[in-house]
Every structure is written in C-alpha cells, then in structure tokens.
Chains A and B, each alone.
Chain A
Amino acid sequence: MFRSVCRISSRIAPSAYRTMMGRPVIANTILAQRFYSANLSKDQVSQRVIDVIKAFDKNSPTIANKQISSDTQFHKDLGLDSLDTVELLVAIEEEFDIEIPDKVADDLRSVGETVDYIASNPDAN
C-alpha cells in the first residue's frame, strides 16, 4: 500500500514539470493507467515516445515537422548526434518513469527499438 503511495507522489512531480514545459498532460489518464494496467499497449508507448521526440527540438527545430514512424532512426533520420540521443533517451526514461540499462540504451538507434524495449519493460508506466 505504501509502495503505491510512493509511486504516485514520485510521478506527480515530473508531470508538473512537463506542464511547465508547455506539453499538456492529462494527469487523470496517466494515473488511471497506473492503477488499472501494469503494461502499456504498444500503440500508447509509441504515441508517447513520438510526443517526447516532437517536444525535443532544442537543437533541430525541424523534428517537429518530420514524419516519425517506428523505422525512424535517431541519427540518420532525425539528425541527432550522440549527445542528443543520450538526452532524448533520458527524456523518454523520465516520461515512462524507468531507467534503461546502459547496455540496452547503447544499442537503441531507432524509434521502433525504443518502443519495443519500453513495451517489454513491466516497470514502464
């Protein structure tokens, strides 16, 4: 019981941060997902990953206009350098409240691979 309380309180903060950053967050939906489903569907994961990528435009404002599919590669298609890719993956970690192990993160090069990993991670929410 306490564990669930901790998890909720730790999630409220990042969502406040996101709202400040100008990305609307429907807190109720996220909380509802947390209570009623342990695993997220691939479509949900994919949509949220794409939202994070679109919001991640500090170096290349063109990303927001690009078509992003599961085949999209961070470096080749989005023009992200290695530092950008690390930053993007950390932003995605924060979105799903997980830590991607270094060994896995090193090999994630495309949107599809990232979505697959998150969908397979039972802690993602």
Chain B
Amino acid sequence: MSTRLKALNAYRHGLRATRVAFQNDTEVLIAARAKMRSGMLCPPNPKLNTEEQIQHLEDVAVFLRRNLVQGKKVDGTNTKEPRYHLNIHKDTELGDNETVADPTVKVKTKLRARPFKCSDKR
C-alpha cells in the first residue's frame, strides 16, 4: 500500500474514532475533526518521519475509541457533589478492576474525578 493511501486510511480511522468518542457532542466533534484535518495538512510533530506520523494518527484513533469516556452531568442542581453519567461503550477499554470492585477492601484516596470541558480555563 502506498504511503498516500496509508495516510488517507489513517485519517479515515481517525474521523470514525471521533464519532465514537464524541457522539452527541457536536461542538467537540467538529473541533476534533477540524484539528485532525489541520494535523493532516501540517503535522503537529515535524520531527517524525512520514511512517511515524501515520502511526501516530492510528494510535490517536485507537486512544479515542478505547481510553476516552464522555461524561454528562446528571443533576445540574447539586453543585457541591455533581454527578456524571459516563458513556462507556463497546470499545471502551475496561481493565481488570477486581480489587477495586471488591467491597471488603477499603482504600482511602484523595483522588477525585476532575471533569473539565475543553472550553474551561485551567
């Protein structure tokens, strides 16, 4: 397969992955696709050679599918302890969480979900 076709196929896989990752979030979906296109025209990491650039985009596509989960605020009135519904889909990577799921094991942690939108200032 020529490099050109490989690049176009990677782009196709990337675009499809944005649909899986950003379903129903039109704003972010459009932004992600615009970013992907600009990345095709002007690669974000010029040090890599062409093959590596293509592999990078393929990896991004896999990451979007497996490792990104959308959260949607369930109850907008509870500002102190907001709750989010997570859209875990069939491609989401689910690790083996047996110890975490075990109710007899109590783990104290200060870690909390840190939800943010792309538009949030950090």
Interface residues on B, range: 10 to 19
Q: Which residues does chain A contribute within 8 Å of B104, judged by CB atoms?
A: none
| B66 adjacent to chain A (CB < 8 Å) | no
Question: When the two chains form the complex, which single residue of B15, B23, B24 contacts A87, counting CB atoms closer than 8 Å?
Answer: B15
Assess A94 versus B12: contact at CB under 8 Å? Given A17-B26, A20-B26, A83-B40.
Answer: no
**Chain A nearest CB, measured from B1 CB (Å):** 9
**Chain A nearest CB, measured from B88 CB (Å):** 15
Q: Which residues does chain B contribute within 8 Å of A20, judged by CB atoms?
A: 26
Interface of A, helix, strand, loop or mixed by DSSP: helix
**Chain A nearest CB, measured from B90 CB (Å):** 10
| A99 adjacent to chain B (CB < 8 Å) | yes
A20 to B27, CA, bound (A): 11
Assess A82 versus B8: contact at CB under 8 Å? Given A87-B15, A90-B16, A94-B19.
Answer: yes
**Chain B nearest CB, measured from A35 CB (Å):** 23
Q: Mark B7-19, 1 if CB is under 8 A from A, else 0.
A: 0110110011001
| A21 adjacent to chain B (CB < 8 Å) | yes
| A57 adjacent to chain B (CB < 8 Å) | no
B5's closest neighbor in chain A, by CB? A106
| A16 adjacent to chain B (CB < 8 Å) | yes
| B37 adjacent to chain A (CB < 8 Å) | yes
17 contacts between A and B (CB under 8 A): A13-B23, A17-B24, A17-B29, A83-B8, A83-B40, A86-B11, A86-B12, A87-B15, A87-B33, A87-B37, A89-B12, A90-B15, A93-B16, A99-B16, A102-B12, A105-B12, A106-B8
- Residues of chain B touching chain A, judged by Cβ–Cβ distance below 8 Å, are 4-5, 8-9, 11-12, 15-16, 19, 23-24, 26, 29, 33, 37, 40-41
